[in-house]
Structure 1
Amino acid sequence: MIKSGDVDGVVGALIILAITCAVCFAVQEAQTVQWGSWRLTFDSQTGDLLSLVWNGQTIAQAPPSGSLASLDIAVGERLEKRRWLIERSLSRSRLVERHFEARSGLLTLTREVSANGGRWQLQEQVQFGAFGNPNRIARSVRLTWLGSQPAKFYRIRFILPLPKKGTFLFPTKDPFDATHSGDLALCPQNYRASSAWGVGQFLLQQSKDLTLLFINDARRDPAVTHLWAVDDAVFVIHEFVAMGWAEPNEPQTVGSAFLEVVPEPLPKALRTAFWQWYDDVGIKVPADRPKWVNEVALYSFHPGGTIGSNFLDLGGFAMAKRHLLPIIRWLGFSAIWLLPIEDRGVYNPRDYYRFQEGLGTEEEYRQLVDEAHRLGMKVWQDIVPHGGTPEHGKVRGNKPWWLVFDEDGNALNYWCFDFREPDWQRYIGQVAEHYVKTFGIDGFRVDAVGGSRMMNWRRKGFPPAEKVPDNVPAEWWQKGLAEAGGQVPMLPYERGSLTLREGGLQMLRVIRQATKRFNPDGAILGEVEPVPYMQEADVIYDFTLCHRHLMRLREVSPAEFVFALQRYFEEQRFAEPKGTVRLRYAESHDSLRAQYWLGVSAVRAFMALTFWVEGMPMLYHEAEIGHGVFIQRALSIRNALPELQTGDALYTDADHSSPLVKTNPDGIFTCLRTKDYVRASVPVINFNPNPVTAIIHLPIELLKLKENDRYAIWEGMTGAKLVEGKPKEIAKVKLTLSGYQSA
Structure 2
Amino acid sequence: MKKPSELRSFSGPHFGISIGLADGRLASIRRTRDGAQIYADDGGDRGLRACVGGIPRPFPNRGGVDSWRCIVDGRPADSVFVGGAAVYEGLEQTDLGDALQISVRQRDGLWRFVTHYIMEKADPVLRMDWEIHYNGEDSQRLHFLEWKWADWAFADQRFPWQTDKGNFQTQPLRDGGSIVLWRKDDGEWWQWNLAPAPSRSVECRLFVGGRLSGGQHGFRGGGFHIGLSDGIGAASADIVPRWYASHHLHALGMPATRPVHNAHIYETFIGWRMIVGETTGTPPQRLEPYPTTEALAADLPRIKALGFDTIYLMPRQPFPGYTTASLTDPALQYGDGEGTGGRFRSLTKAIHALGMSVIVDVVLHGGMDHCTLDFQDGIIDSLPGNWGKNNHLAHSEIWRSEAPKQHPLWEAHPEWFCQFEDGRAQIGYTRAFDLRHPGFQEYFVQSLASLVSEYGIDGFRFDAPWWTIFAYRWKEDAGYRASWQAGAAAQLVSRLHLAVQRVKPDTIFFMESSDPFTCQPAHLKYPYAVQRIVLTQMQKKLMTARVAREALSYLRKVRLPGVSVAHWMVDSHDSVWAYRWNEKWLHRHVGLPLARAFAGLVAFEDGALMSFTGSETHMEEWFRLLMRLRRELPVLAHGQCDELAVLCDNEHVFPLWRWLDCEWLLPVVNFSNETQTVRLGLPSHPVVPRGCALKDHLDPAANIRWGGDGDELLVDLPPCATRLIGASHPVTERND
CA distance in 1, matches of 2:532, 2:421: 32
Query: In 2 relative to 1, CA 271–50 (structure 1 residues): closer, same or farther, beyond 3 Å?
Result: closer
Task: Report how far residue 606 of structure 1 moved.
Answer: 2.6
Q: Which residue of 1 aligns with 2:129?
A: 140
Q: State yes or no: 1:370 paired with 2:371.
A: no
Check whether the contact 1:452–1:504 (CA below 8 A) recurs between aligned residues.
no
Measured against aligned partners, the alpha-carbon deviations of 1:39-94 in whole angstroms (never above 9, x if no partner) come to 544344543334555545335587585366554333453644648846642xx333
Q: Please report the RMSD computed on the Cα atoms of aligned residues, expressed in angstroms.
A: 3.7
2:413 to 387, 395, 399: 399
Check whether the contact 1:35–1:102 (CA below 8 A) recurs between aligned residues.
no
Check whether the contact 1:223–1:240 (CA below 8 A) recurs between aligned residues.
yes
More displaced stretch, 155-164 vs 409-418 = 155-164
Spell out the pairing of 1:71-86 with structure 2 (5 A cutoff): 71-75=48-52, 77=54, 79=71, 80=73, 82=75, 85=81
Check whether the contact 1:163–1:234 (CA below 8 A) recurs between aligned residues.
yes
Query: In 2 relative to 1, CA 422–344 (structure 1 residues): closer, same or farther, beyond 3 Å?
Result: farther
Task: Report how far residue 326 of structure 1 moved.
Answer: 0.9
Q: State yes or no: 1:571 paired with 2:565.
A: no
Task: Report how far residue 433 of structure 1 moved.
Answer: 0.7
CA distance in 2, matches of 1:157, 1:200: 18
Question: What is the letter of the counterpart of residue 122 of structure 1?
Answer: F
Q: Which residue of 2 aligns with 1:151?
A: 140
Measured against aligned partners, the alpha-carbon deviations of 1:405-448 in whole angstroms (never above 9, x if no partner) come to 47995532632222233322222222211111112221111222
Task: Report how far residue 97 of structure 1 moved.
Answer: 5.3
Q: State yes or no: 1:543 paired with 2:528.
A: yes
Q: Which residue of 2 aligns with 1:331?
A: 306
Spell out the pairing of 1:372-521 with structure 2 (5 A cutoff): 372-389=351-368, 394-396=407-409, 397-405=411-419, 411-412=426-427, 414-416=429-431, 417-452=433-468, 454-460=470-476, 490-496=477-483, 498-500=484-486, 502-521=487-506
CA distance in 1, matches of 2:538, 2:32: 46
Query: In 2 relative to 1, CA 26–621 (structure 1 residues): closer, same or farther, beyond 3 Å?
Result: closer
Check whether the contact 1:638–1:645 (CA below 8 A) recurs between aligned residues.
yes
Query: In 2 relative to 1, CA 34–301 (structure 1 residues): closer, same or farther, beyond 3 Å?
Result: closer
Q: Which residue of 1 aligns with 2:228?
A: 261
Query: Could you say which structure has the greater relative contact order, defined with CA pairs below 8 angstroms and 6 or more residues apart?
Result: 2
CA distance in 1, matches of 2:80, 2:200: 19
Q: Which residue of 2 aligns with 1:121?
A: 112
1:732 to 700, 713, 716: 713
Q: Which residue of 2 aligns with 1:42?
A: 19
User: Helix, strand or coil for the counterpart of 1:605?
Assistant: helix
Query: In 2 relative to 1, CA 712–439 (structure 1 residues): closer, same or farther, beyond 3 Å?
Result: farther
User: Helix, strand or coil for the counterpart of 1:533?
Assistant: coil
Check whether the contact 1:72–1:84 (CA below 8 A) recurs between aligned residues.
no
CA distance in 2, matches of 1:244, 1:200: 27
Q: Which residue of 2 aligns with 1:298?
A: 265
Question: What is the letter of the counterpart of residue 395 of structure 1?
Answer: P
CA distance in 1, matches of 2:351, 2:174: 55
Measured against aligned partners, the alpha-carbon deviations of 1:146-167 in whole angstroms (never above 9, x if no partner) come to 2222223333245667663656
Counting matched residue pairs gives 644
CA distance in 1, matches of 2:182, 2:158: 12
Task: Report how far residue 245 of structure 1 moved.
Answer: 3.3
Measured against aligned partners, the alpha-carbon deviations of 1:377-415 in whole angstroms (never above 9, x if no partner) come to 222112222232256564245422332347995532632
Q: Which residue of 2 aligns with 1:278?
A: 244
User: Helix, strand or coil for the counterpart of 1:320?
Assistant: helix
Query: Which TM-score applies when normalising by structure 1?
Result: 0.76
Q: Which residue of 1 aligns with 2:253?
A: 287
Query: In 2 relative to 1, CA 153–632 (structure 1 residues): closer, same or farther, beyond 3 Å?
Result: same
More displaced stretch, 630-639 vs 38-47 = 38-47
Task: Report how far residue 374 of structure 1 moved.
Answer: 3.7
Query: In 2 relative to 1, CA 604–707 (structure 1 residues): closer, same or farther, beyond 3 Å?
Result: closer
CA distance in 2, matches of 1:448, 1:265: 33
CA distance in 2, matches of 1:740, 1:84: 58
Query: In 2 relative to 1, CA 258–66 (structure 1 residues): closer, same or farther, beyond 3 Å?
Result: same
Check whether the contact 1:429–1:514 (CA below 8 A) recurs between aligned residues.
yes
Query: In 2 relative to 1, CA 106–157 (structure 1 residues): closer, same or farther, beyond 3 Å?
Result: farther
2:34 to 57, 81, 87: 57
2:665 to 681, 686, 704: 681
Check whether the contact 2:600–2:722 (CA below 8 A) recurs between aligned residues.
no
Check whether the contact 1:99–1:109 (CA below 8 A) recurs between aligned residues.
yes
Spell out the pairing of 1:682-701 with structure 2 (5 A cutoff): 682-690=666-674, 692=675, 694-701=676-683
User: Helix, strand or coil for the counterpart of 1:345?
Assistant: coil
CA distance in 2, matches of 1:508, 1:93: 44
Q: State yes or no: 1:588 paired with 2:572.
A: yes
2:606 to 598, 614, 619: 614
CA distance in 2, matches of 1:150, 1:170: 44
Check whether the contact 2:525–2:566 (CA below 8 A) recurs between aligned residues.
yes
User: Helix, strand or coil for the counterpart of 2:367?
Assistant: coil
CA distance in 2, matches of 1:88, 1:47: 11
CA distance in 1, matches of 2:49, 2:189: 17
5+ residue gaps, structure 1: 1-20, 174-194, 461-489, 654-659
Question: What is the letter of the counterpart of residue 500 of structure 2?
Answer: T
CA distance in 2, matches of 1:279, 1:514: 26
Q: Which residue of 2 aligns with 1:198?
A: 166
Check whether the contact 2:677–2:714 (CA below 8 A) recurs between aligned residues.
yes
Query: In 2 relative to 1, CA 561–510 (structure 1 residues): closer, same or farther, beyond 3 Å?
Result: farther
Question: What is the letter of the counterpart of residue 493 of structure 1?
Answer: Y
Check whether the contact 2:45–2:84 (CA below 8 A) recurs between aligned residues.
no
CA distance in 1, matches of 2:355, 2:90: 66
Spell out the pairing of 1:202-213 with structure 2 (5 A cutoff): 202-205=170-173, 207-208=175-176, 211-213=178-180
1:93 to 87, 93, 97: 87
- Percent sequence identity is 17
Check whether the contact 2:361–2:461 (CA below 8 A) recurs between aligned residues.
yes
CA distance in 1, matches of 2:291, 2:711: 53
Check whether the contact 1:420–1:499 (CA below 8 A) recurs between aligned residues.
yes
5+ residue gaps, structure 2: 56-70, 276-284, 371-403, 577-583, 725-736
Q: Which residue of 2 aligns with 1:633?
A: 625
Check whether the contact 1:695–1:732 (CA below 8 A) recurs between aligned residues.
no
User: Helix, strand or coil for the counterpart of 1:147?
Assistant: coil
Measured against aligned partners, the alpha-carbon deviations of 1:236-289 in whole angstroms (never above 9, x if no partner) come to 444323344334423222211123334x33357425211111222233233345
Task: Report how far residue 526 of structure 1 moved.
Answer: 1.6
